[in-house]
Structure 1
Amino acid sequence: MYMKRVASAGLAVALAVGGGVMAGAQQRGGARVQQPEPPPTVPAVPAPRIPLAPAPVRGASVTPALEGWFQNPDGTFTILVGYRNRNQNQTFDVPVGPNNSIEPGGPDYGQPTRFDLGRHYGVFSLTVPKDFGTKRLTYTINVNNQPQTITLGLPSGYQISPFRRNDTGNTPPVVKLDPSGPEYQGPPRGAAKTLSATVGQSITLPLYVTDKGATINQSASPTTPAADGAVTTGRGQRGGITVRWYKHRGPAGETVKFEPASPMLVNDPEPAKLFEKPGDRTGKATTTATFTTAGEYWLRAQISDGSQLDEQCCWSTVLIKVDAQASAGSKGP
């Protein structure tokens, strides 16, 4: 019993001494010792976007794209440019200026001011002199406070053949805007035609198209020529000619109403007589365009032969300039 009491007393003394030591560690000579700061809280890092994740609905960028370059018969070079709007539900009208510029020598090189959803190939081209060499231009598009800049030039590995695919021998469709007008094929080169319009009144936009299709390594079986008046195109059809109209430039916030935006090409033997070398498929596609506000517009039509729409071939793009005049009671520019 005596040993238990001694042990208990010793434990009490030890606890008392220990408490005094701990108190002394916290306060010595009346001065309080600063305790260590707790480690800082590290903010959570947002998870990186998964490469195959869907594009944001809104708030993302528009990225210009260098699609390649080719040499012209006169020794000059043409640079082909497109873009990708990375939003799912946000289109943009960006006037030429600080947020839509090509420099030096710009800011206007004929680039679009309207940026629709998705990837757009062969939107415009610019021609540089034969001695351009290693010089560079910079193309900047800034939407949602996200400036995107690329370099335009003649880099090795970017030379393309927009008038003939080397693997299939395929060539782009040939297009006419008027029965007696010139033929257009391949990338756009400025305004092919200038029209006048009145706000609220539609104008008719016919396209005469012929295409011969691939000539070598053609995996698809030959098709039987369509009857007169038959529709010879449709989305998803191999070898079908597709036509699509877009607003290229124009007053900000104003849309151009195309009826329809993707007109069907109707087989017609008469347009074949309009071309120097008519192809296997020839027809006419017609749409109308209506403008809600006066101003200068550029319209873009892209015609694909249905083989494969990519940055090189096989499609043709034409640009039309329209001067829309105000009518009584219509909106001005």
Structure 2
Amino acid sequence: MRRTVSLAAAFAAAIALGATDLAAQRSSERRVANPGETQFELQLLRPSGGPVVPIFEGWYRNPDGTFELSFGYFNVNTEETLEIPLGSDNFIEPAAFDGRQPTVFEPVPESDRRHWGAFTVTVPADFGGRDVVWTLHARGQTLSVPGRLTSPAYELAGWEFPGRSSVSPLLRWTADGPGGRGPRGITGAARQARVGVPLDLAAWVARDAEAGIDERPINIKWFKH
């Protein structure tokens, strides 16, 4: 299956909130929500002027014994896209894991209310109880979320779906290139583009479920990093 989309440079960034001390904010945000709770306040939606909330979605084990920590985000604005460049306002700790997070945050989607699976961080098999913390800062407010392996309630199916004899669709950048599946996906070579000129991106997707033929459509979601 081949899907092509066009991307155009048409993004704006602005958020306005009161100043918050980084250490104090960390102490309140540095947690994983318990089952039935959320990591953010649900009554935040507005057309513009609101923050982007980093979200820890969960973790799963890779076949080689390493682990994936999956992150998404909640842009509370229904009409405003925000840009937060990598650096002091958008970073991951420990620094060894910094750089895979997005810098462009699209408005809240109408269906899911937030953006799922924006990126993952791969940690070693012996990572233990340490945290991977994603921090976003804009207009005086800092929001952080920890990713950790110590909460069983946050364990994800990953790219396999036990009991259904199926796995996530396989994604390739070229028809015969290397593939990846699940939240981790694959990372391709850098592409060059000019401002205001659309860039076509193509992806080849295949479903190889063992249990019969699944004819449901496969949806592709692009994140600009």
* Category of TM-score, reference length = shorter chain: 0.5 to 0.7
Q: Does 1:128 align with 2:123?
A: yes
* Structure 2 residues without counterparts, runs of 5 or longer: 1-40, 109-113
What is the alpha-carbon distance in structure 1 between the residues aligned to residue 132 and residue 52 of structure 2? 18
* Length-normalised TM-score, structure 2: 0.68
Match of 1:146 in 2: 141
1:62-211 correspondence runs (5 A): 62-105=52-95, 108-118=98-108, 119-157=114-152, 158-166=154-162, 168-188=164-184, 191-199=187-195, 201-211=197-207
Determine what percentage of the aligned residue pairs are the same residue. 32
Taking structure 1 as the reference length, the TM-score comes to 0.47
Q: Which one is further off, 121-130 or 70-79?
A: 70-79
Are the structure 2 counterparts of residues 201 and 65 from structure 1 closer, same or farther at C-alpha, using a change threshold of 3 Å?
closer
Judging changes above 3 Å, is the alpha-carbon distance between structure 1 residues 98 and 78 closer, same or farther for their aligned structure 2 residues? Answer: same
- Per-residue CA shift, 1:280-325, capped at 9, x if unaligned? xxxxxxxxxxxxxxxxxxxxxxxxxxxxxxxxxxxxxxxxxxxxxx
Counterparts in 2 of 1:148 and 1:201: CA distance versus 1, 3 Å:
closer
Contact 2:68 2:184 survives alignment (8 Å): no
Local SS of the residue matching 1:80: strand
Most deviating of 98-107 and 128-137: 98-107
Mapping 1:161-310, distance limit 5 Å? 161-166=157-162, 168-188=164-184, 191-199=187-195, 201-212=197-208, 215=211, 239-248=216-225
Larger Rg: 1
The aligned length equals 179
Compare relative contact order (CA 8 Å, sep 6+) and give the higher one, 1 or 2.
2
- Any gaps of 5 or more consecutive residues in structure 1? 1-50, 217-221, 226-238, 249-333
In 1, the alpha carbon distance for the partners of 2:64 and 2:42 equals: 44
Q: Which has the higher strand share?
A: 1
Once superposed, what is the RMSD of the aligned Cα atoms? 2.8
Distance in 2 of aligned mates of 1:85 and 1:74 = 34
